[in-house]
Amino acid sequence: MSHRHPRLAYGGVALAAYMLLVRHMRYRRIRKMQAKYPDPTIPLRDHAIAKEVLATAVNWDFPYMAEVALEFALFKTYAVPTISKILAATQQFSKEVGKRAEDTGLILMEITQGYARSQKRIATTGVDSPEARAKDEYRAFVATERLNFIHSHYPIKQEDFLYTLALFIKEPHSFIDQYEWRPLTELECNAYFAAWRRIGEDMNIENIPDSYEGVKIWAEEYERKNSVFAKSNVTIADQTVGHLLSRAPAFLHPFGRLVVASLLTPSLRRAFGYNEPPKSVYYTVHAFLQIRRLIIKYLMLPRRTTRVRSPLDVNEFGRYVPTFNKYAPVYKDGYRIEDLGPTKFLGKCPVSFHPSGITPPHDLPSTHPVPVQKE
């Protein structure tokens, strides 16, 4: 037996050394960022810095949980009847829920991933030109204009716009602090707020609070008053959860719905008409998330590349093809930013973006119907 002890000791030392290496490597990026910007409030005054800090957090350190948090933020808005009734009336969720989810995700990525694309461009090609950065900025502009154009056709309350924006600021902070390998720093929290506040301003959203805490307090109060049960909530929530589970085997869908319920507060479950999940499921879900957090923190080396789903450039047909797909692909041949959104708005965006000047060949499925439908 004694000859085994040295092996155990060597194994323990090797494991401890590896865990120390993981910790050093994992915190190296945020330490470097904090050394570069010792004043954690600087993102509130410098939009370029806000985008840099946010891209580093979202696309390097927390890509999965940041994305899940945005999906969850959208899901929470469906508990507000004034939102869910408009969505139900469009019939997009009942007829093409996958396309609707993909369009929303791609528009948001076109708006938010410009700096991350710049980082990826440098990593893959070694260079990043002012022209490329300007193109990324214009892509974000077109996506924002497309979003504003779509929204202008629906009777959406200003408060519901603000609530959605507030959740995009608040939910990533909450999810990352609870489930990721480290919490957000004050610098990152301010970057989240500043970057999304600018997006809100570009969308002409009114009365945006002037701090993260202000946004959080406002959103929680609005949710308390307005997240109430309605049949339209149930309809949109069920169709959304069905889409989220679309790639899971059918026999797992009932459990998947319990997982979703486990992540909701009691008031949100009531607004969606969901029953309280069994305690065994609730504790299993949260235990799994905590185990994941510990594994990442102590056993997984950090990412070596930035995770960006929006492509760096167009394909040979002048379209953008997502770098990967979480669900069944919607745009196998690529998309044009000004075409994202409901089919009835194809060809009607007030702005367009054709960086290559390439006209798709006739045999490629067109995203523009001919003739263009009238309102």
Q: To which residue do tokens 């504003």 refer?
A: 148
Residue-wise pLDDT for 108-149, tens only, equals 999 999 999 999 998 888 888 888 889 999 999 999 999 999
Please say whether the beta carbons of 227 and 79 come within 8 A: yes
Alpha-carbon gap, residue 92 to 89, rounded angstroms: 8
Look up residue 367 and give its amino acid: T
Which band of pLDDT confidence, cut at 50, 70 and 90, is reported for residue 357?
Answer: very low
Residue-level pLDDT at 284: 97
Alpha-carbon gap, residue 338 to 326, rounded angstroms: 22
Alpha-carbon gap, residue 250 to 351, rounded angstroms: 42
- pTM summary value: 0.90
Residue-wise pLDDT for 234-272, tens only, equals 999 999 999 999 989 999 999 999 999 999 999 999 999
State yes or no: pLDDT of 361 exceeds 50.
Answer: no
The predicted model gives 47-74 an average pLDDT of 95
DSSP-derived letter for residue 60 is I
Q: Give percent of the chain above pLDDT 70.
A: 93
260-272 burial: b if 16+ Cβ within 10 Å, else e: bbbbbeeebbbbb
Which band of pLDDT confidence, cut at 50, 70 and 90, is reported for residue 49?
Answer: very high
Residue-level pLDDT at 353: 64
Q: Give percent of the chain above pLDDT 90.
A: 82
Residue-level pLDDT at 228: 97
Q: What count of other Cβ atoms lies within 10 Å of the Cβ of residue 179?
A: 20
3-state class (DSSP) for residue 320: strand
The predicted model gives 85-110 an average pLDDT of 94
Which tokens in the block code for residue 184?
């957000």
Residue-level pLDDT at 352: 73
What end-to-end distance do the CA atoms of the chain give, in Å? 83
State yes or no: pLDDT of 1 exceeds 90.
Answer: no
State yes or no: pLDDT of 362 exceeds 60.
Answer: no
Alpha-carbon gap, residue 305 to 125, rounded angstroms: 13
What residues contact residue 74 under an 8 Å CB cut-off, 6+ apart? Answer: 104, 164, 167
Q: To which residue do tokens 């999965």 refer?
A: 64
